[in-house]
Chain A
Amino acid sequence: MGASVDEKVGPTGPGRAAAGETLLEVEDLEVQFFTRRGRVQAVRQVSFSIAAGETLGLVGESGSGKSVTASALLGLVELPGRITGGDVRWKGQSLVHDAGATLNRVRGREIAMVFQDPMTSLNPLFTVGAQIAETLRRHLKLSRKEAKARAVELLDLVGIANPAQRAAQHPHEMSGGMRQRVLIAMALACEPQLLVADEPTTALDVTIQAQILDLVADLQDRLGLAVLLITHDLGVVAGLCDRVAVMYAGRLVELGGADALFARPGHPYTAGLLRSTPRVDEINERLVSIEGAPPDLVRPPDGCPFAARCPLAHDECTTDNPPLETHEEGREVACWSPFAADV
């Protein structure tokens, strides 16, 4: 029979990167949506990278382009959108240009995605076990029996009680939290090196949220997994992430280590986000929000996208878009007056 299931799958499997090695490189990524209103520039010149074993949090409000960025990594941008510029490289190979074969190899096997809504992410007509087994058979060439057994193991791994029973159930027989666990199990089935989680906890209630995040952290430790966590919730980011990237109106406006960024935000938008997050240890009389609204992405303004709402804006801000530059060790900010905002 040859290699056992664990050998086929295990952490010492072929192609695994050493800790610290850069796995994913996103360079000047541009995604546009061709709608009847015009071309929506959802993602504009976004660049970042993720190394093996690290957790990057991608933060932003709805409409900032973070989910689109995540979808773009695996070539899953839906019509009417498409990648119109830039590149995404996985271990040096492009996932955008001439990428058919590479994507087939990488999707589900080396990069896995967990999407936002557990209620709709599973096919209602097939059992949960079958949907997990599917990916095992596709990538790892397991036999039906092996795949079935492994699926049950995975359900156990993500903390589902009675995994054998559950594997034979259909999605509608499970709660939201359980389905999310199933999705995580499915994503991790082939022990990928990068897990992209798009708002994995938004659709769940708070207690379940905590459990899921703990689960992800735990699995990360055990499997040496790199994680790209997309969320609008700063609390989630603070708990889990090594580095943080902040997106606004399709652009990346700040990138840096999580602790440093929270202690001393570089970009006024980040400062604004932190300010508006209610804190348990402070008594605020009113909730603070950032005034104004994000710009129209069909006709984005010339200068900095945040200029209209920024308390520190000056003339240069409205005419020239500040590039994402390294202002300090490990801190990149796209602002003409970085580190100047109050928290």
Chain B
Amino acid sequence: MSATEEITPGQVEEEEHAVEAEDALFGRPFELSGAANPRGLWGDLVRDKMGIVSLVFLVVLAAAAIFAPWIAPDDPNHGDLSSSMLPPVWNGGTWSNPLGTDWQGYDVLSRLLYGARTSLFIGIAVVAVAGTFGVLIGLISGYKGGRTDRWLMGWVDVQVSFPGLLLAMLLIALVGGSVLSVTVILSINGWMVYARMTRGVVLTVKERPFVEAAEMVGSKSRRVVMTHILPNITTPLATLAVLEFARIILAEAALSFLGLGVQHPTVTWGLDIARAGDHELFGNQWLILYPGILLSLTVLAVNLLSSWLRVALDPQEREKKFAATATAGGAGAGTGV
């Protein structure tokens, strides 16, 4: 667009609409001059429709997963050939198998629900374990500095260069696949990001003048540093945790898909995609698509949630970014890749 084109009133409106429409898609924080938007922060969060939809979706999914033993039509591993390949309820089936059954007689809906339990559980568990360990290492490394820092970060650098999936495969092959082994192994592979991020925050805080000032006054700099690290770490940590959560869900699914993750009789979407892929590629392809679509929607919702979270937790960042891009023509980088 050049400023020398003739401007028609229509074009001006179009431009204003573009800015507005883009707001709706990505959810902008409050206006630069607060007075223009009395609804404030909450109002704008709600305006991020995608974020709200994702949040609702994930809450419903989590609830379904938690209550699966009560709401699932059947035991996911219970079935026999006589009740195999039943159609879903809109195709002539019954409500006792709302989405039908697969070739082994297992109820599809039940498997989806129990699969959610596994995926969500592993996601949370790995984030908790890897996150805790990583943050700890980051804190130690950043605070101590010097040789400790160099060694720890050296270790991080080396481990980051490992071929993650292959090593995970090798490990699981030796140890056997299960929810526990998958959790442990994904944690081993995934703590480094947290360490690096935490260390970064610690270093930034350490350099701030008030730490020096506090030392001069006589207070223990350690306490000063610790008190100030915590608030600075919450936002990036939360965002990182959510993104990692999405990544872990995909990683577990991939491992299970390869037969190297969670094993039967534990139920997981990755495993179901593999089974159906083997058996029904030329048959009822919906058996492949159900778990896959649900898995994709879950990860999509988590990714959208992370963008929403960034707005919620760090409006300053967003405002800065907005101010930079407003002069560029009003577009941010979306949900951050």
Contact = CB atoms under 8 A, between A and B. Distances in A.
A and B touch in the complex (CB under 8 A): yes
Interface of A: 31, 34-38, 72, 75-84, 95-100, 103
Contact of A34 (B4, B6, B12): B12
Interface majority SS (helix, strand, loop, mixed), chain B: loop
Nearest to B12: A34
Given A36-B28, A36-B330, A75-B3, 10 more contacts: A31-B3, A34-B12, A36-B36, A80-B15, A80-B19, A82-B3, A82-B5, A82-B7, A84-B7, A96-B4
A195 to B, nearest CB: 21
Interface of B: 1-7, 12, 15-16, 19, 28, 31-33, 36, 326-330
Given A34-B15, A78-B327, A103 B4 contact: yes
B20 to A, nearest CB: 9
A77 B3 contact: yes
Among A35, A76, A95, chain B packs the most CB atoms within 10 A around the CB of A35
Main secondary structure of the interface of A (DSSP, over half): loop
A34 to B, nearest CB: 6
Given A79-B329, A80-B326, A80-B329, A36 B19 contact: yes
A82 B4 CA distance: 7
Q: Of residues B4, B5, B19, which shows the largest number of chain A Cβ atoms within 10 Å of its Cβ? A: B4
A83 B330 CA distance: 18
A36 B326 contact: yes
Contacts of A31: 3
A99 B6 CA distance: 10
A79 B6 CA distance: 15
A102 B175 CA distance: 73
B24 to A, nearest CB: 13
5 contacts: A34-B12, A36-B31, A36-B326, A80-B330, A82-B5
A96 B2 CA distance: 10
Given A78-B327, A80-B326, A36 B4 contact: no
Contact of B2 (A37, A75, A80): A75
A36 B4 CA distance: 22
B294 to A, nearest CB: 38
